[in-house]
Structure 1
């Protein structure tokens, strides 16, 4: 595999990052394709509002984006500290199998530790066995037995 640099996303990443996000949303999770401008607005929002979250990209030597990770920020009242939610971790199919997902995960985990977050949490689909294997390997623990996750969807 070619050398990869993991770094925070910048404005110049907008178009290739949007393409990766479409692949993640539509191809990987089989969700409805969002409007292109809405995806760009999300990327731009995170670039402009660093207190809301941050995106990171994995870039090859030739400038190709091979993957991305998205952190959103919140707070823990019981810990009285910021927390980070790893909402997305995605590697393009042509770059899978070489440890890039692990590198991206380690990078964002180190970032959250360095920045003083109380913890980083995440979820994955029940049928996403490769992701579950990665997260277990990284030391993640399924704490679903402690809390029940609810949501109300607004269509």
Structure 2
């Protein structure tokens, strides 16, 4: 993998990408549209008349990498596609793309709070509902007075946010 292509946690990636994004699982079948891909290329792609490019190619997903742009933090993915031969097509079950795959996976627990001026002036601490404190955040350290929880926040690249 190239420098800057550190794969992200899939749950974090999906949280950043949004609920409308669905990704195929490894080994599922998908269609690849080469002419549509060429239309989005940065340079002019000419298929020419020397050979016929089919409008779609049935492929198996070989790998899925969840990535984020190091400059903008925009999430994207790299998917390896393996074209299937005609002989492979006849012997395969039709186990196409499962659009509900992400719905079946366990959803991460999350908590969101818009910080207020009083939170900012609280010496670096803020209050959360007890349920969230007990189920989402690290265990409360009762040996400290008052009891505290230390939360380490990381960005999409895994860097600690101070």
TM-score range (shorter-chain normalised) is: under 0.3
Greater fraction of residues in helix: 1
Tell me: higher relative CO, structure 1 or 2? Use CA pairs within 8 A at least 6 residues apart: 2
TM-score (norm 1): 0.23
Greater fraction of residues in strand: 1
TM-score (norm 2): 0.23
